[in-house]
Amino acid sequence: MRRRTSGPDAGMKQGSKTMTMTNDAFETACTKAVARLLLGNRRLKEGIVLTGGNQLDLDGKVRLARQARASDTDVLHLEYGTDDDGRHGLTGMIVFMVRGDICHIQTQCRLFLSKGGTRGVVLPQPGARGHYRLAPGEILHIDGKPAGDVTDGMARADAWLARQLALGSDAADDGRYQVWSQAA
């Protein structure tokens, strides 16, 4: 069950105005924007799901891995919480990749966008090999890091995401994503 965070509403600057949205609205908009960054104009198909919610403890990771394995579905979980500045935001990502009878879990992932790129990828935590690309029906592990400076690529992805959120929900809501709120 997802619990509401007690942190402040997420504020977003747009020109000289500050827009405020609830945590749920922010998480919905952010999840849609991340899907757009990772998929481009493709649609998710059976075999993969994007979820968003609170940061998962070890028990939560095990439960989600069991669900992914039982349904033979890859999962990209977006973790939301309070960042270092005290604002509600995207604080992490976890990849759950089901291959055979094993669910591989990669925590502390980040978004990466190459220079001139139109689709982002998911970088695992430093020291882990490879990176992940979302295909419409699965999460693909690609050997090696993407070309370019990792720090710059993460900054580009963060800036792209911030621009999409500043544009508002109309920019990310083109009917390709269905978002269900989890019961409180």
Q: Mean pLDDT highest for which of 11-25, 74-88, 92-106, 160-174?
A: 92-106
Confidence band of 169 (pLDDT split at 50, 70, 90): low
Mean pLDDT of 132-159: 92
Strands 138-142 and 102-112: unpaired
Give 123-129's long-range contacts (Cβ < 8 A, gap of 24+). 123/150, 123/153, 123/154, 124/95
Q: Considering only CA atoms, which of 110, 109, 119 is closest in space to residue 154?
A: 110
Does pLDDT of 34 surpass 80?
Answer: yes
Q: Is the pLDDT of residue 126 over 90?
A: no
CB 157 within 8 A of CB 148: no
pLDDT band of 136, cuts 50, 70, 90: confident
Is the pLDDT assigned to residue 63 strictly greater than 50? yes
Q: What pLDDT sits at residue 86?
A: 85
Q: Where are the alpha helices (DSSP H) in 40-119?
A: 58-71
Q: How far apart are CA 31 and CA 52, in angstroms?
A: 7
CA distance to 82, 87, 88, 171, 181, per residue, from 22 (Å) = 13, 12, 10, 18, 13
Of the pLDDT bands very low, low, confident and very high (cuts 50, 70, 90), residue 23 is confident
